[in-house]
Structure 1
Amino acid sequence: MAADGTAGNDRTEETEETEGADRTGAPPSRALAGLDAIKDGLADLYRDLHARPELSFEEHRTAAEAARRAASYGYEVTEGVGGTGVVAVLENGPGPTVLLRADMDALPVTERTGLPYASRTEGVMHACGHDMHVTCLLGALKLLADARADWSGRIVGVFQPAEEIAQGAQAMVDDGFYARFGTPDVVLGQHVAPFPAGLVGVHAGPAFAATDALRVRLFGKGAHGSRPEASIDPVVMAASTVMRLQTIVSREIAGTETAVVTVGSLQAGTKDNIIPDEAELKVNIRTYTPEVRTRVLAAVERIVKGEAATAGAEKEPEITEIDAFPVLCNDAAAVERTAAAIGDVIGADRVLDPGPVTGSEDVGHFATSAERDIPLCYWLFGGADPEKVAAAQRGGTFERDIPSNHSPFFAPLVEPTLSTGVTALTTAALAWLEGARPAK
């Protein structure tokens, strides 16, 4: 059956054979045979990167290490793309161009894992697993370089900065990415997640939510804490706003739609007996469709202004954008092809459809910013201890006991997470590259 659901009865036998060969891609077995020899070194690299996290657009050490290693594998490396981005290109005969992407930045989180390789940088942590992403991509680039005899085409390895602030991918695109490195035929990437290590999860269609992050400034009138009647209290105004914002999803979005509205920060005042004249909220919104996004953003603006007016504020609130991610939409045909290839290697029962996730990603910019849309397949791979996950699920304590991304306790199990990530990325690339042509 064709990708559009039609029977496709007018195909010739020759066409079917050719398309079948394209779907098969290059064989992964010989490339993956080299994984055991590099696993320990990759684990050491991962621990090193984890201990030395760097914030968005400050990934100088991480970028330099990625560049050095990729160059040693035989890739042509360009540094400083879009700030601190690194692009590693390997030309290996005619064939498709496959983009493999990993993000590099850490978060302003104080690590509490207690690991011997915990962050050495005060207040900064790889709480989202980007250190694992970098390590897996380097492992895949190494295996693919060593297996050049088995595939034909072009690999573009992208080490991207500043994913956490939704700016890195666009910065690399704006720095002439396509003109400098070519337009890929497919964009592939992955993200470690808090489900059992050894599993891969991929969803076709809208797979990661759009994000809008807003800064809201509420203006009141300061006074002494003993004389609230002389104030227009922005703390009360902020508290009312936070509570009212929680009604958007429950009362304005249909049960068949999905949205999340989170107030992640509320800051006001300096002392218990001083009513300040200003409060600030930081609001995070997740949606999957333009219609719901428009409705939620309008509701936020209406509520913020309405609560300020109700409180008697003499100055209208300010609402400004902090950052925004588009919806990440996985190409259905690309998902089918890539998931099948990964499943052939790790077992089809270990490749799952997790459904849409409410996390967000900017990797989609590499697929949608060119003159033509490029197929994108972006998947999750598990990083949690399978036994701990099973115990938590049995006890109904998964959300409590299994740390999620951005938690100060988030720490992927090094193995088999690392091997699964390298295997998935290598196998996915080979599914799109052509098999080596015999010498004439």
Structure 2
Amino acid sequence: MTLQLPRWAPALYESLHRAPELGFQEHRTAGLLADVLSREGFAVTRGIGGTGLVAVLDRGPGPVVAVRAELDALPLQERTGADFASGTDGVMHACGHDLHLTALAAASAQLVAGPDLPNGRIVLILQPAEELGSGAVRMNEDGLTEAVPRPDILLGQHVSAMAPAGVLVSTPGPALAAADTLTVTARAPGGHTGSPDSGADPVLFAAGLTQRLHTVVGRDVAPFEQAAVSVPGIVAPSTAGLRAPRAVLTVNIRTFEERVREAVIRRVGDLVRAESAAAGLSFGGDVRLTHDTHVPRVENSPEVRDRLAALHERRLSVRHLTVPPALASDDISVLARSFGCPSVYWFVGSGEPGGGLGAVRPACHTDTYLPHPATLSVATAALREAMAAALAGALTGPRDERTRPGPLDGATGPKCPVGNNTPPETRT
């Protein structure tokens, strides 16, 4: 089966890469994709969830196949040296979303142009703010599930530098971790740095809390549990003579099991309270803890995943391998739960061809990450074949075999006070 691309696809990819946009700011990106998909015969609706859009092709009664791709980029200064490097200061496509979008458009165009397109409906979901963990929720809140027919299956794919170009990988069952984002905000009157004894210091509080939070896994949670706790950012604006009056920490938690998730969140709350007291700050007054977002874990229907892997190996000149779950996350899980349909999510190798599986550099979310040139054609072919098979009913099997994930189960994340794998990495 061909790995060729539509003639316009490389130019679209480079155009998207040159002009990345952050979450909920993806106006140009959404506009480009809307134009391409409209040209290919899709009915496009823009503005769902802010900058999100959906594109539907209706060919009459038959399966409904949904595919999700992401619009947003990351706040990084690109250092790839590519001829088509980002022209936007401090923003780059370091997670391959530009490639995902191009593969989605190219695969859809090839499918529509084919002579044997089955009846059914194709629903393309172009989601904002995946990197923020809130884009899918925003689209749901803005009426996504009412705007499109209910899918029989949801497909998603992602690049990974931890597999070589020409190799696909995926996980049956739980594939990606749940993610929770919390924010800790500490305030104090400020003060002169020449008088460090004259009041509480939010920066000192933030430094102590950061060190302690990174010991939760391995000290407060058994090291063999699959979990990660990180402080990806601290903001404390000040000048040389001023003790910062405010420090804001972002806390990110990754887990697979709900009991572990609850234990970690509870322990984070305990540590914030203890560090507040040690720093001379009052919890609930000087220090606030909010739970901003919750992204459920990604779960692949094992039967659907196995059928897809066999299909890829049979139809394409690529391998589709099984890998362990990853502590990365993706809010495509929110869509799968809200639609209540089986889903399958796989990775497209973007490293040097011929290599093995495992951690390599540059990886996703780094300022020198750039997928190998062969990645786009493989991703396009893999998605095209998955969409065609889903339309033909070859992935989901008889209706009584289909798994139905549970409800959203708090996927919006309450904004209120709260208390050894080597799989492919994604962003979130």
Please give the range of the TM-score, normalised by the shorter of the 2 chains. Answer: 0.7 to 0.9
3-state SS of paired residue (1:223): coil
Alpha-carbon distance, 1:322 to partner: 3.5
When structure 1 is superposed on structure 2, of 304-313 and 267-276 the one drifting more is: 267-276
**Corresponding residue for residue 218 of structure 1:** 186
Q: State whether residues 215 and 281 of structure 1, in contact with CA within 8 Å, keep that contact through their aligned partners in structure 2.
A: yes
Q: Alpha carbons of 1:281 and 1:152: their partners in 2 closer, same or farther (altered >3 Å)? A: same
The answer to whether the 8 A contact 1:224-1:275 is kept is yes
Instruction: Give the residue type in structure 2 aligned to 1:149.
Output: D
CA contact (8 A) 1:242 1:263 kept: yes
Letter of the aligned partner of 1:346 in structure 2?
L
Distance 2:191 2:42 in 1: 64
Max Rg structure = 1
Q: Does the C-alpha gap of structure 1 residues 178 and 238 become closer, same or farther in structure 2, counting only changes over 3 Å? A: closer
Question: Could you tell me which of 2, 25, 28 is aligned with 1:61?
Answer: 28
* Structure 1 range deviating more: 269-278 or 330-339: 269-278
Q: Deviations over 1:151-210 (max 9, x none)?
A: 222211221112111222222223332332210000001011112111111112221111
Q: Please report the TM-score for the alignment, with normalisation by the length of structure 1.
A: 0.84
Partner SS, residue 310 of structure 2: helix
Picking from 85, 89, 111, the partner of 1:118 is: 85
2:206 match: secondary structure: helix
Q: Which runs of 5+ in 2 are unaligned?
A: 395-428
Which residue is equivalent to 1:171? 138
- TM superposition shift of 1:254: 2.1
For the structure 1 residues 386 and 226, does the alpha-carbon distance in structure 2 shift closer, same or farther, using more than 3 Å as the test?
A: same
How far did residue 148 of structure 1 move? 4.8
Q: Which residue of 2 aligns with 1:157?
A: 124
Paired residues for 1:185-204 under 5 Å: 185-194=152-161, 195-204=163-172
Q: Output the amino acid matched with 1:434.
A: A
What residue in structure 1 maps to residue 320 of structure 2? 351
What is the CA-CA distance between 1:366 and the residue it aligns to? 2.1
Structure 1 residue runs without a partner (length 5+): 1-28
The 2-side partners of 1:238 and 1:180 are apart by 44
Query: 1:7 is matched with which residue?
Result: none
Within the alignment, does 1:408 sit opposite 2:367 as a pair?
yes
The aligned counterpart of 1:323 is 293
SS class of match (1:46): helix
Aligned residue for 1:338?
308
Whole-angstrom CA distance in 1 between matches of 2:52 and 2:242: 46
1 CA distance for matches of 2:272 and 2:234?
A: 14
Per-residue deviation, residues 241-299 of structure 1 (Å, max 9, x unmatched): 11111221011222331111111112335233432333221111111111111111111
Structure 1 distance, partners of 2:251, 2:31, is 35
Q: What is residue 378 of structure 2 aligned with on the other side? A: 420
Displacement of 1:347: 4.8
CA distance in 2, matches of 1:268, 1:48: 36
The aligned runs of 1:115-154 (5 Å cut-off) are 115-154=82-121
Q: Is the 8 A contact 2:43 2:57 kept in 1?
A: yes
Partner of 1:291: 259
| Residues 175 and 235 (structure 1), Cα distance of their counterparts in 2 relative to 1, 3 Å cut | closer
Q: Give the secondary structure class of the aligned counterpart of 1:369.
A: helix
Provide the residue aligned with 1:300 in structure 2. Answer: 268
Q: For the Cα contact (< 8 Å) 2:176–2:325, is it kept in 1?
A: yes
Q: What letter corresponds to residue 406 of structure 1 in structure 2?
A: H
Q: Is 171-180 or 255-264 further displaced after alignment?
A: 171-180
User: Are 1:249 and 2:217 matched, yes or no?
Assistant: yes
Which residue of the other structure, out of 346, 353, 372, is the alignment partner of 1:386?
A: 353
Deviations 1:226-246 (A, max 9, x none): 222222222222221111112
Match of 1:25 in 2: none
Match of 1:74 in 2: 41
**Could you tell me how far apart the structure 2 residues matched to 1:250 and 1:357 are?**
18
Tell me the matched-pair count: 391
- Provide the C-alpha distance between the structure 2 equivalents of 1:237 and 1:435, rounded to a whole number of angstroms: 56
Partner in structure 2 of residue 276 of structure 1: 244
CA distance in 1, matches of 2:215, 2:116: 59
**What does 1:28-67 align with in structure 2 at a 5 Å threshold?**
29=1, 33=2, 36=4, 38=6, 40-67=7-34
Q: What are the Cα deviations for residues 288-341 of structure 1, in whole angstroms up to 9, with x where unaligned?
A: 111111111111111111011122224452112333311111111211122211
